Structure 1
Amino acid sequence: MTSSKNGLCPSPFLQESLFSNATGYIGGRFCQSVGGVSCCLPCPLQDWRYPDNVTSKTNAAGWLAVALLPFQAWLLLTYLVVPVKYTNRQYITVCFTLAIICLQVAFIIPLGTKPQQCHDEITPNDMYTDISCAFSGAVLLFGGIAVVTWSLLRTIALHLQVCWEVIIGPVFMWCSATTGIGVPVLITALMLHYTGVSYRFGGVCHINSPNSMGDYWIPIMVFSGLALLIQFITMGYCIHIYIRSLFDPDPTSTNNSGLPSYQGSVRTMTARQAYKRIHRVIKLQWRSMALVMTILANVIYFFVVFVQLNNSLALTEANRVNAEPWLFCLLEKKNPKECTSEAQLVGIAEAKLVAMVVLLAVANLWNIVFTVRWSMVEGWISLYRSRFIERVEFVSVDARSRPRPTVTHDYEMLDPRQHAKSPEPFVEVRTPSPVVYGSNLPKEVDYGMDASYTRPTMSFSSPRPPSSSQNNGANSYGWDVTSSFARSNSRSNSQMSHHTYVNGR
């Protein structure tokens, strides 16, 4: 700051007319007209409003994102190489994880680029004057709308499975992919064109105040509201089914034999079956439900904080009255640290601002908490054992490249390690030679032995001997040979006398 830039304005304020209005984010200046002259606070405004080195606190959120990034990389790699039986992965989970990573990367970019927040002494940089601002702001806002969109899609999928018993198939997958990618891209493009991003606090660019409600925050809140509504409907349906199952008058709606019992009503049976089905689905999806609820709660908090920030910095008469004690204190003492108490009515509290930045940076922590499970570690252990630990296998000797033996009825099980290391004879384990068992069969078999008949416990009928009415036009076995193409039996009754019925057989 030089004295020539103060102009007609008292220190520490700078005269706005001495600066160019061609580049930088002009709307980010904090200026007030005094005696017909527009006087502005130096950039960045956060150093005057929050003098306790708030920049270092916001940068600490970026380092938290760096510390959590390897866990997200490990999670994506697990989805890629570990079998699905260990991870229960699906495209919604993978895309949601990628959206969370976008929020994380936005806070990592400034740590490497170390951007300059101000274009000149009173004007902050925006996406047109700083490339780091353009990337960090676009990635942050794309990740925010993508997280909300995939949360809504995940909630819809769970609702269809629980409440409507719909099997999620390829049609839903392609519709979800189109919506989950197309909607965030469209909203981000409209936001960048009509609103834009700039440095408002910290090293990450955030959405500007003008037009931000219509092209970004309202779509986010609509999607969040729909997701919460569907989530509550699903939970209400689960509670309803659970209560119905508690009022079942017959706790044992099925007996031990597996056959249905008709003592209870059909309505009661349906409630118990629905409860068992829902219990299985919730057991698999409770992590998703908890994750969605947590993320949506954070999104609502972000929305409230940003709206309060925009309203507190708007050029209104109420804000001017609230800011006057703070501005007069700066005129008198020229030190922002001595005017901290007067600055409480300007903007939002420092604790609330830092909390919002930290929650944005560590949003992926919730994904780790609710997604990572012990079965994923078991999957890695199983993968390591199957790929890198030598397995001892026994193979047939016929697999070797040598002439086939003359005797083919004997088989050998060989150790492949001996084949690879030593030319000595193999250790062979041969199967016993086939034995003819025909000679050990009994010479005579009595097929006429009587056998007792045991009536089954759950039988609903019993065998009956042939009645006389069944013998009209029928042979001794109870069926009419003239009604089929079978040849008649000409054997005498004396030849068939040795056949007897035992208990109706």
Structure 2
Amino acid sequence: MSLLEAVARGNCPSPFFEEKLFTDGGFVDGRLCQIAPNGATCCMPCPIARIAYPDSFYTMSTAAQWVAVVSTISCVFLLLSWIVLPIEKTSRHYLSISLTVGVTFMNLGFVIPLAARPNECYDAITPNSMHTSSVCAASGSFLILGGWCGVMWIFLRALSLHLQICWQVVVGRNFMWFSQVAGWGIPAIGIIVALVLSGVSFRFGSTCHINHQNSLATLWIPLLVFAGFTIILQFATFAYCIKVYLVSLADGAASTEGSGLPSYAQSIKTMTPRQAYRRVKRVIQLQWRGIAIVLIIVTDVVFFSVVFVFQDNTVQQVTNNPHLADDWVTCLAFAGGDKTKCLKEARVMVVAQATVGAVLLLLAMNGLWLAILLGRWSMVTGWAELFMHVPNRNKREFVSVDARIDDLKKDTLTPLSPVAQKSALRSPRSPSAAGNTDYADYYNTLVSQDSRIAGNIDGRRTPDYFGQTARYHTPARSFSSPKPPQTVTWEMHPPSGEAGAEGGDNKYVNPLGMNRF
């Protein structure tokens, strides 16, 4: 023991320190102190987890943080795939995207301390808080925000599934806006309330957690309430599915054997049990990944909340009644601070290491579960196609940027065939076409309009190849059928009393019957 440590201990035996020798910096309420028989107030060294748990505790905590790193990478891959790749490759949905963002926030609560390696203690007996450590503020805020987002978006996902299966409600744009407001608004309010009324500090491990003061009202009870609603909705949906299945077994109606879904004219509310079962079965086949995600994350959140609340209450009971730790304190005093000889007595103050490790690993693995259940192999092939085709496409666009416009002009304004060109040179108003003036002008107007519309390419004005005086001419031959072209003579009789009737010099051509054989 160094001279500085001996002075700091004052009248307290090893490994304790006398409180009056320290300032009021850091999170003072996080100190664990007790009055010694000699009247000195002796405090546990900081961090308490280093003497309450074996050395493998921090190894386990570091392993959970590395798992969180892999989980974060998986979430980033999903988010980038949903943003960059087309929807047919990813089947993206706003419920999946928002849930992945929330899980990423939660993972950052473990990744930031791993990268920053923060000092957990302000001094020998006082832990750091969000006011004395920026890393503590960041990790604690991301952990709380991620927990809130995860709970809210799995609740909204369970609600969406429940409405679709049990109430035959097609969730649409209104539900999407409601989800966005509730899914992000409630977590934003929750984290503000938690940080203002409770705050975060280093409780155990290198990640900051919410303080005991007002923590039940500001965080744990609201989280558990929404988690409880999610469980109720999920089990209600399962109960309805089981009911529909059992009823469908007794439905032997021959009319329900033909189709799995009701017809367009049939109301959903009049579905037979067999049709209802098939509809529910189809929805579950499409949504089973979302159902699994809801169950996994809600289990993790409830498990974490229960374990941490129990741990927090135990430490607070020792703070309020220091005599509960007399056996452990006495053991440490006689062992000269050797924690390995007193780990058995420390169990009354802390949660078992295996339980804490399970909680940390489950929270850190949420991103991996998202990648497994929401990810698709088509995302991998989509990225491969993107990297293989993008350079070639960019090169082609760079070389032929003007050619692309020319191709578009060619596609839009196809040149006339030689036969059509010759026909176009003829005047449609031949002497034999008397009485057809109105229809010819009508077609001329349409052709002129089409040519003007086709001339506007990429915001540029192209030449009007047909001209304002282009006229419509009925082709003498038709190649629309596989038959060889034949010469067809059109002879129609005009209405009586008009020029060109039977017995007249001109033959009347009916424009409405030009394409009839």
TM-score interval w.r.t. the shorter chain?
0.7 to 0.9
The structure 1 residue matched to 2:312, chosen from 310, 313, 317, is: 310
Distance 1:401 1:193 in 2: 65
Name the residue aligned to 2:515. none
Q: CA deviation at 1:59?
A: 1.9
The structure 2 residue matched to 1:330, chosen from 329, 332, 335, is: 332
Name the residue aligned to 1:40. 43
Q: CA deviation at 1:317?
A: 9.2
In structure 2, the gaps of 5 or more residues are 397-405, 422-477, 490-517
Partner SS, residue 418 of structure 2 = coil
TM-score (norm 1): 0.74
Q: CA deviation at 1:347?
A: 1.3
Q: Does 1:371 align with 2:374?
A: yes
Partner SS, residue 198 of structure 1 = strand
What is the letter of the counterpart of residue 59 of structure 2? S
Q: Does 1:273 align with 2:284?
A: no
Instruction: Show CA shifts across 1:280-338 (max 9, x none).
Output: 21111111011101111111110111111112212459964542221111111121122
Distance 2:408 2:159 in 1: 58
Name the residue aligned to 2:155. 152
Distance 1:186 1:171 in 2: 22
Distance 2:346 2:309 in 1: 19
Name the residue aligned to 1:98. 101
Name the residue aligned to 2:468. none
Q: Is the Cα–Cα contact under 8 Å of residues 67 and 364 in structure 2 kept in the other structure?
A: yes
Superposition pairs of residues 189-338 of structure 1, within 5 angstroms: 189-250=192-253, 253-254=256-257, 270-316=272-318, 320-334=322-336, 335-338=338-341
Distance 1:179 1:259 in 2: 34
Q: Is the Cα–Cα contact under 8 Å of residues 50 and 350 in structure 1 kept in the other structure?
A: yes
What is the letter of the counterpart of residue 145 of structure 2? F
Partner SS, residue 42 of structure 2 = strand
The structure 2 residue matched to 1:108, chosen from 100, 108, 111, is: 111
Q: CA deviation at 1:112?
A: 2.1
Q: Is the Cα–Cα contact under 8 Å of residues 55 and 201 in structure 1 kept in the other structure?
A: no
Q: Is the Cα–Cα contact under 8 Å of residues 46 and 201 in structure 1 kept in the other structure?
A: yes
Q: CA deviation at 1:24?
A: 0.6
Q: Is the Cα–Cα contact under 8 Å of residues 293 and 370 in structure 2 kept in the other structure?
A: yes
Distance 1:308 1:191 in 2: 18
Q: Does 1:399 align with 2:410?
A: yes
Q: CA deviation at 1:360?
A: 2.0
Q: Does 1:70 align with 2:81?
A: no
What is the letter of the counterpart of residue 232 of structure 1? F
Partner SS, residue 341 of structure 1 = helix
Partner SS, residue 272 of structure 2 = helix
Distance 1:440 1:401 in 2: 31
Please provide the CA RMSD for this pair: 3.4
Q: CA deviation at 1:385?
A: 6.7
* Runs of at least 4 residues off by over 6 Å: 395-398, 400-403
Instruction: Show CA shifts across 1:417-444 (max 9, x none).
Output: xxxxxxxxxxxxxxxx957544699xxx
Relative to structure 1, is the Cα distance of residues 269 and 346 closer, same or farther in structure 2, using a 3 angstrom cutoff?
closer
Q: CA deviation at 1:252?
A: 5.9
Partner SS, residue 314 of structure 1 = helix
What is the letter of the counterpart of residue 304 of structure 2? F
Q: Is the Cα–Cα contact under 8 Å of residues 59 and 202 in structure 1 kept in the other structure?
A: no
Distance 1:87 1:376 in 2: 6
Q: CA deviation at 1:199?
A: 0.6
What is the letter of the counterpart of residue 202 of structure 1? G
Q: CA deviation at 1:244?
A: 1.1
Partner SS, residue 275 of structure 2 = helix
Report which stretch shifted further, 29-38 or 177-186: 29-38
Report which stretch shifted further, 139-148 or 354-363: 354-363
What is the letter of the counterpart of residue 295 of structure 1? I
Partner SS, residue 377 of structure 1 = helix
Q: Does 1:188 align with 2:199?
A: no
Q: CA deviation at 1:405?
A: 7.3
Name the residue aligned to 1:30. 32
Partner SS, residue 39 of structure 1 = strand
Distance 2:127 2:409 in 1: 79
Distance 2:389 2:101 in 1: 29
Distance 1:108 1:259 in 2: 50
Name the residue aligned to 1:351. 354
What is the letter of the counterpart of residue 31 of structure 2? R
Instruction: Show CA shifts across 1:373-431 (max 9, x none).
Output: 2343354456567656779xxx9999399996772659xxxxxxxxxxxxxxxxxxxxx
What is the letter of the counterpart of residue 180 of structure 1? G
Partner SS, residue 241 of structure 1 = helix
Superposition pairs of residues 109-124 of structure 1, within 5 angstroms: 109-124=112-127
Name the structure where helix makes up a greater proportion of residues: 2
Q: Is the Cα–Cα contact under 8 Å of residues 398 and 404 in structure 1 kept in the other structure?
A: no
Q: CA deviation at 1:172?
A: 1.2
Name the residue aligned to 1:423. none
What is the letter of the counterpart of residue 270 of structure 1? T
Q: Is the Cα–Cα contact under 8 Å of residues 71 and 368 in structure 1 kept in the other structure?
A: yes
Distance 1:259 1:347 in 2: 58
What is the letter of the counterpart of residue 282 of structure 2? R
Distance 1:146 1:259 in 2: 37
Relative to structure 1, is the Cα distance of residues 129 and 397 closer, same or farther in structure 2, using a 3 angstrom cutoff?
closer
Relative to structure 1, is the Cα distance of residues 304 and 399 closer, same or farther in structure 2, using a 3 angstrom cutoff?
same
Relative to structure 1, is the Cα distance of residues 398 and 436 closer, same or farther in structure 2, using a 3 angstrom cutoff?
farther
Distance 2:81 2:216 in 1: 38
What is the letter of the counterpart of residue 175 of structure 1? F
Percentage identity across aligned positions?
A: 38
TM-score (norm 2): 0.73
What is the letter of the counterpart of residue 91 of structure 2? N
